[in-house]
Amino acid sequence: MLCDRVTAPAQPEGGWVLRGQRWAVSSNPLIPVPGWILIQTVRHVESLADLDEPEAQELGGVLRRTYRALQAVTGQDRVYSLSMGEQVRHVHILAGVPREDDDGRGARLMIRLLSRAPSLADADRSHAMSAELAAALATSPVGE
Protein backbone atom coordinates (compact mmCIF):
# COMPACT_ATOMS: atom_id res chain seq x y z
CA MET A 1 0.00 0.00 0.00
CA LEU A 2 2.68 2.54 0.96
CA CYS A 3 4.83 1.64 -2.05
CA ASP A 4 1.87 2.26 -4.36
CA ARG A 5 1.24 5.71 -2.87
CA VAL A 6 4.69 7.08 -3.69
CA THR A 7 4.90 5.59 -7.17
CA ALA A 8 1.38 6.56 -8.27
CA PRO A 9 1.14 9.58 -10.58
CA ALA A 10 -1.79 10.97 -8.58
CA GLN A 11 -1.41 12.81 -5.27
CA PRO A 12 -2.56 10.90 -2.19
CA GLU A 13 -5.74 12.06 -0.49
CA GLY A 14 -4.80 15.28 1.29
CA GLY A 15 -1.71 15.71 -0.91
CA TRP A 16 1.95 15.45 -0.08
CA VAL A 17 3.16 17.50 2.87
CA LEU A 18 6.71 16.94 1.64
CA ARG A 19 7.93 14.81 -1.27
CA GLY A 20 11.57 14.22 -2.08
CA GLN A 21 13.65 11.61 -3.88
CA ARG A 22 14.00 9.46 -0.77
CA TRP A 23 11.27 10.47 1.73
CA ALA A 24 7.61 11.42 1.49
CA VAL A 25 5.29 12.91 4.13
CA SER A 26 1.49 12.89 4.07
CA SER A 27 -1.62 12.38 6.17
CA ASN A 28 -1.93 8.85 7.46
CA PRO A 29 -3.89 6.96 4.76
CA LEU A 30 -5.36 4.50 7.28
CA ILE A 31 -6.75 7.07 9.71
CA PRO A 32 -6.50 10.80 8.99
CA VAL A 33 -5.94 12.34 12.42
CA PRO A 34 -5.37 16.11 12.63
CA GLY A 35 -1.83 16.83 13.76
CA TRP A 36 -0.59 13.38 12.76
CA ILE A 37 1.42 12.53 9.64
CA LEU A 38 3.12 9.57 8.06
CA ILE A 39 6.78 9.81 7.01
CA GLN A 40 7.77 7.03 4.61
CA THR A 41 10.58 5.96 2.33
CA VAL A 42 10.02 6.38 -1.38
CA ARG A 43 11.94 3.17 -2.11
CA HIS A 44 10.53 -0.05 -0.68
CA VAL A 45 12.51 -0.77 2.48
CA GLU A 46 11.21 -2.95 5.31
CA SER A 47 13.51 -1.84 8.14
CA LEU A 48 15.41 1.27 9.20
CA ALA A 49 18.44 -1.03 9.34
CA ASP A 50 18.10 -1.53 5.57
CA LEU A 51 18.20 2.16 4.60
CA ASP A 52 20.91 3.01 2.12
CA GLU A 53 23.42 5.69 3.10
CA PRO A 54 21.65 8.65 1.39
CA GLU A 55 18.29 7.65 2.93
CA ALA A 56 19.86 7.35 6.37
CA GLN A 57 21.66 10.70 6.09
CA GLU A 58 18.53 12.48 4.90
CA LEU A 59 16.19 11.06 7.55
CA GLY A 60 17.43 13.29 10.38
CA GLY A 61 16.81 16.46 8.41
CA VAL A 62 13.37 15.29 7.28
CA LEU A 63 12.38 14.49 10.86
CA ARG A 64 13.71 17.78 12.26
CA ARG A 65 12.03 19.94 9.61
CA THR A 66 8.75 18.04 9.82
CA TYR A 67 8.65 18.04 13.63
CA ARG A 68 9.40 21.78 13.74
CA ALA A 69 6.59 22.41 11.26
CA LEU A 70 4.21 20.28 13.36
CA GLN A 71 5.12 22.31 16.45
CA ALA A 72 4.69 25.62 14.62
CA VAL A 73 1.34 24.73 13.04
CA THR A 74 -0.20 23.09 16.12
CA GLY A 75 1.38 25.20 18.87
CA GLN A 76 2.39 22.02 20.72
CA ASP A 77 5.86 21.68 22.20
CA ARG A 78 6.18 17.90 21.76
CA VAL A 79 5.96 15.53 18.83
CA TYR A 80 5.37 11.83 19.40
CA SER A 81 6.88 9.23 17.05
CA LEU A 82 6.13 5.60 16.40
CA SER A 83 7.58 3.08 13.95
CA MET A 84 6.87 -0.62 14.24
CA GLY A 85 6.48 -2.14 10.77
CA GLU A 86 4.33 -5.05 11.95
CA GLN A 87 1.24 -4.69 9.79
CA VAL A 88 2.76 -2.69 6.93
CA ARG A 89 6.22 -3.93 5.99
CA HIS A 90 7.49 -0.62 4.58
CA VAL A 91 9.53 1.90 6.56
CA HIS A 92 7.16 4.51 7.89
CA ILE A 93 7.09 6.69 10.96
CA LEU A 94 3.88 8.02 12.46
CA ALA A 95 4.49 11.43 13.98
CA GLY A 96 2.12 13.82 15.64
CA VAL A 97 1.24 15.94 18.59
CA PRO A 98 -0.66 15.20 21.82
CA ARG A 99 -4.36 15.98 21.89
CA GLU A 100 -6.19 18.06 24.45
CA ASP A 101 -8.73 15.43 25.50
CA ASP A 102 -8.28 13.09 28.48
CA ASP A 103 -7.04 10.18 26.35
CA GLY A 104 -4.94 12.38 24.09
CA ARG A 105 -1.52 11.90 25.62
CA GLY A 106 1.11 9.23 26.02
CA ALA A 107 0.35 5.52 25.83
CA ARG A 108 -3.45 5.98 25.80
CA LEU A 109 -3.20 8.05 22.63
CA MET A 110 -0.85 5.52 21.01
CA ILE A 111 -3.33 2.73 21.75
CA ARG A 112 -6.15 4.75 20.19
CA LEU A 113 -4.03 5.50 17.12
CA LEU A 114 -2.93 1.91 16.64
CA SER A 115 -6.48 0.65 17.02
CA ARG A 116 -7.61 3.35 14.56
CA ALA A 117 -10.26 4.69 16.93
CA PRO A 118 -12.93 6.34 14.75
CA SER A 119 -13.24 9.19 17.26
CA LEU A 120 -9.75 10.40 16.23
CA ALA A 121 -10.46 10.58 12.51
CA ASP A 122 -11.30 13.87 10.83
CA ALA A 123 -10.23 13.83 7.19
CA ASP A 124 -11.17 17.45 6.47
CA ARG A 125 -9.19 18.84 9.42
CA SER A 126 -6.31 16.44 8.82
CA HIS A 127 -5.99 17.43 5.17
CA ALA A 128 -6.29 21.13 6.00
CA MET A 129 -3.52 20.74 8.56
CA SER A 130 -1.43 18.85 5.99
CA ALA A 131 -1.76 21.84 3.67
CA GLU A 132 -0.60 24.14 6.50
CA LEU A 133 2.35 21.86 7.17
CA ALA A 134 3.27 21.79 3.48
CA ALA A 135 3.21 25.60 3.40
CA ALA A 136 5.37 25.81 6.53
CA LEU A 137 7.86 23.35 5.08
CA ALA A 138 7.94 25.21 1.75
CA THR A 139 9.18 28.31 3.52
CA SER A 140 11.74 26.57 5.75
CA PRO A 141 15.20 26.07 4.22
CA VAL A 142 16.33 22.47 3.84
CA GLY A 143 19.39 23.00 6.05
CA GLU A 144 17.40 24.26 9.02
Q: Could you tell me which residues come within 8 angstroms of residue 111 by beta carbon, excluding any fewer than 6 positions away?
A: none
Name which of 27-31, 57-61, 94-98 the model is least confident about. Answer: 27-31
Q: What is the pLDDT of residues 4-51, one digit of tens each?
A: 777 777 777 888 999 999 999 999 888 889 999 999 999 999 999 999
Confidence of residue 107 (pLDDT cuts 50, 70, 90): confident
CA-nearest of 6, 12, 50 to 127 is: 12
Domains and CATH numbers, the chain: 2-138 (3.30.428.10)
What does each C-alpha distance from 35 to 5, 86, 89, 118, 120 come to in angstroms?
20, 23, 24, 15, 10
Q: Could you tell me which residues come within 8 angstroms of residue 70 by beta carbon, excluding any fewer than 6 positions away?
A: 35, 37, 76, 79, 95, 96, 97, 133
